[in-house]
Amino acid sequence: KQEGRPLRQRQRLLVVANRLPVSAVRRGEDSWSLDVSAGGLVSALLGVKEFEAKWIGWAGVNVPDEIGQKALTKALAEKRCIPVFLDEEIVDQYYNGYCNNILWPLFHYLGLPQEDQLATTRSFQSQFAAYKKANQMFADVVNEHYLEGDVVWCHDYHLMFLPKFLKDYNSKMKVGWFLHTPFPSSEIHRTLPSRSELLRSVLAADLIGFHTYDYARHFVSACTRVLGLEGTPEGVEDQGRLTRVAAFPIGIDSERFIRALEVPQVQEHIREFKERFAGRKVMLGVDRLDMIKGIPQKILAFEKFLEENPSWRDKVVLLQIAVPTRTDVPEYQKLTSQVHEIVGRINGRFGTLTAVPIHHLDRSLDFHALCALYAVTDVALVTSLRDGMNLVSYEFVACQDAKKGVLILSEFAGAAQSLGAGANLVNPWNITEVANSIAQALNMASEKERSGISITLYIELNDTVVEAQIRTRQVPPPLPNKEAIERYS
Ligand code: G6P
């Protein structure tokens, strides 16, 4: 409804997420540069254009001094962003601790950390207290910028107290909360010591959204079983008040990717990559370097594939882009070394003097290089152990254009529910199954390339019309045409 209206007349949307779409890097006392942040939440929300949107969140950096804070606030205002300043202690206890060491693994079915993983300085209670405090700080900033009629859209597991704190400020505020991760089975959620408080706080929202119907169902079950509330087809009811709960699968701005393929820089990258990997099939993984992405399992499956298919060894390359993330959390540090160790071993085992089977990059690629890589890829591997949605799978499909590669997709990624019919679905925990799927996908990709376009021709030969099927990589000239008949018959 808003699309036709000029921006200033559109309804204002306050998007509140832990991370702003840009991360700040300090260049001087009062100067900052801003880079686009990584992750599915940011990719998805970059597509929101119908509202006059402002973002409220953390810029990913500690800014203890007033001069720095003022300068950063000004730089961010140009991007329609409003910062929430979190000090080092809060970031450690709330973000590294409660969000990324407790909620994130739990929501992805990796369980709660064992006691010895909770460093002595970081007790569960102190992390939870910091989580609440940080949520209150976000609420304060939202309240400061809120204008009557605004819609406030809270995002993700970092901000489960926010709906409650906002409604405490102003019960008329329209508040939505969307979770970008899976919401786990209620049997998993109920292991969380603060299970009830978190559910009740989220329920203060007017509308709660998830990527898939299953996640919504798990949430409603948790409210029923843990809080004893009534679940209805519309949501959850508590003493006559209904909170709507529904699935709103997120997507990407596919036009942005399709348009990018026409950009000369991207075309140039495509030419470069084709030349560099000529004669080899290209397999691609693009992930944040996170345990939920199943990177070690994926690489081990690739090793098994190479082991069992010697004829493919010098004809395929796996490019694994692993974007570093949450590098202060010990579990993520361990994962980085583990991945490096496996990649080194496999390259040592199957590499030759001129080529290695795995190119592993610990960094992000710029948008143009990424689109070009998607475009030249024969087989994309998205093998998350669990994933809320996984937008890389959509980005790959959007950039495939004429190529028609194959997507190997984890059945535990939300995207499996929308892309499942066209992808090779796998259980990422089953390394043999993934290795077999790689072999099948590479053969499919070669077959698609060989078969090209199939056309039926009706040809007149000695007064008889015969039907002929041809496969060609080019569309033949229109018939009747003697030259064409001779060439294609
Ligand atoms: C996932 C989460 C996002 C998060 C992103 C990047 O997509 O759902 O909320 O922003 O990962 O992680 P980070 O910890 O760097 O913000």
**Tens digit of pLDDT for each residue in 355-378?**
999 999 999 999 999 999 999 999
Query: What is the C-alpha to C-alpha distance for residues 180 and 155, in angstroms, rounded to an integer?
Result: 7
ipTM given for this complex: 0.97
Pocket of ligand 1 contains residue 324 by CB under 6 Å: no
**Average pLDDT over every residue of 212-238:** 97
* Confidence label for 277 from pLDDT (cuts 50, 70 and 90): very high
Pocket of ligand 1 contains residue 386 by CB under 6 Å: no
Residue 234 has pLDDT above 50, yes or no: yes
Cα–Cα distance list, 162 to 16, 159, 165, 183, 489 (Å) = 9, 5, 5, 17, 69
Rounded to the nearest whole angstrom, what is the distance from the C-alpha of residue 41 to the centroid of ligand 1?
6
Q: What is the pLDDT of residue 468?
A: 59
- pTM of the entire predicted model: 0.88
Q: What is the pLDDT of residue 392?
A: 97
Best residue among 45, 180, 364, 391 to mutate for probing ligand 1, ranked by most atoms within 8 Å of CB: 180
Q: Amino acid identity, residue 450?
A: R
Q: What is the pLDDT of residue 401?
A: 74
Rounded to the nearest whole angstrom, what is the distance from the C-alpha of residue 158 to the centroid of ligand 1?
9
Pocket of ligand 1 contains residue 19 by CB under 6 Å: yes
Q: By mean pLDDT, which of 89-93, 423-427, 480-484 is the weakest?
A: 480-484
Ligand 1 nearest atom to the CA of residue 325, by list position: 15
**Average pLDDT over every residue of 308-317:** 97
Pocket of ligand 1 contains residue 325 by CB under 6 Å: yes
164: left (phi over 0), alpha (psi -120 to 50) or beta: alpha
Ligand 1 nearest atom to the CA of residue 181, by list position: 8
Residues of the chain with pLDDT > 90, as a percent, come to 79
Q: What is the pLDDT of residue 52?
A: 86
pLDDT greater at residue 334 or residue 464: 334
Q: What is the pLDDT of residue 27?
A: 94
Residue 451 has pLDDT above 70, yes or no: no
Ligand 1 nearest atom to the CA of residue 180, by list position: 8
Q: What is the pLDDT of residue 411?
A: 98
Nearest protein CA to atom 8 of ligand 1, as residue:
180
Residue 459 has pLDDT above 80, yes or no: no
Q: Which residue has the tokens 């070009």?
A: 372
Q: What is the pLDDT of residue 456?
A: 52
Rounded to the nearest whole angstrom, what is the distance from the C-alpha of residue 125 to the centroid of ligand 1?
23
**Average pLDDT over every residue of 184-190:** 97
**Average pLDDT over every residue of 233-241:** 95
Cα–Cα distance list, 239 to 121, 186, 229, 363 (Å) = 41, 22, 9, 50
* Pairing outcome for strands 379-382 and 281-288: parallel
Phi then psi for residue 442, to 5 deg, are -65, -40
Rounded to the nearest whole angstrom, what is the distance from the C-alpha of residue 139 to the centroid of ligand 1?
20
Pocket of ligand 1 contains residue 60 by CB under 6 Å: no
Q: What is the pLDDT of residue 51?
A: 79
Residue 9 has pLDDT above 70, yes or no: no
Question: What's the pLDDT tens digit per position in 382-403?
Answer: 999 999 999 999 999 999 977 7
**Average pLDDT over every residue of 453-476:** 54
Rounded to the nearest whole angstrom, what is the distance from the C-alpha of residue 202 to the centroid of ligand 1?
19
Alpha helical stretches, state H, 209-278: 213-227, 254-260, 264-276
CB 156 within 8 A of CB 179: yes
Phi then psi for residue 318, to 5 deg, are -105, 120
Residue 209 has pLDDT above 90, yes or no: yes
CB 41 within 8 A of CB 155: yes
Residue (of 248, 175, 242) closest to 215 by Cα position: 248
Pocket of ligand 1 contains residue 41 by CB under 6 Å: yes
Residue 483 has pLDDT above 60, yes or no: no
Question: What's the pLDDT tens digit per position in 12-53?
Answer: 999 999 999 999 999 999 999 998 887 777 777 776 777 789
pLDDT greater at residue 341 or residue 354: 341
Rounded to the nearest whole angstrom, what is the distance from the C-alpha of residue 42 to the centroid of ligand 1?
8
**Average pLDDT over every residue of 334-345:** 97
Q: What is the pLDDT of residue 480?
A: 42
Rounded to the nearest whole angstrom, what is the distance from the C-alpha of residue 36 to the centroid of ligand 1?
13
Pocket of ligand 1 contains residue 364 by CB under 6 Å: no
β-pair partners for 175: 152
Residue 127 has pLDDT above 50, yes or no: yes
Pocket of ligand 1 contains residue 326 by CB under 6 Å: yes
Termini Cα distance of the chain: 55
Residue 118 has pLDDT above 90, yes or no: no
Q: What is the pLDDT of residue 484?
A: 44
Cα–Cα distance list, 64 to 43, 72, 74 (Å) = 29, 12, 16
Q: What is the pLDDT of residue 478?
A: 39
Pocket of ligand 1 contains residue 180 by CB under 6 Å: yes
Ligand 1 nearest atom to the CA of residue 100, by list position: 14
Residue 238 has pLDDT above 80, yes or no: yes
Q: What is the pLDDT of residue 450?
A: 65
Average pLDDT, rounded, for the chain: 90
Q: What is the pLDDT of residue 135?
A: 98
Best residue among 18, 19, 20, 22 to mutate for probing ligand 1, ranked by most atoms within 8 Å of CB: 19
Q: What is the pLDDT of residue 50?
A: 72
Pocket of ligand 1 contains residue 43 by CB under 6 Å: no
Pocket of ligand 1 contains residue 218 by CB under 6 Å: no
Q: What is the pLDDT of residue 485?
A: 46
Residue 457 has pLDDT above 70, yes or no: no
* Confidence label for 185 from pLDDT (cuts 50, 70 and 90): very high
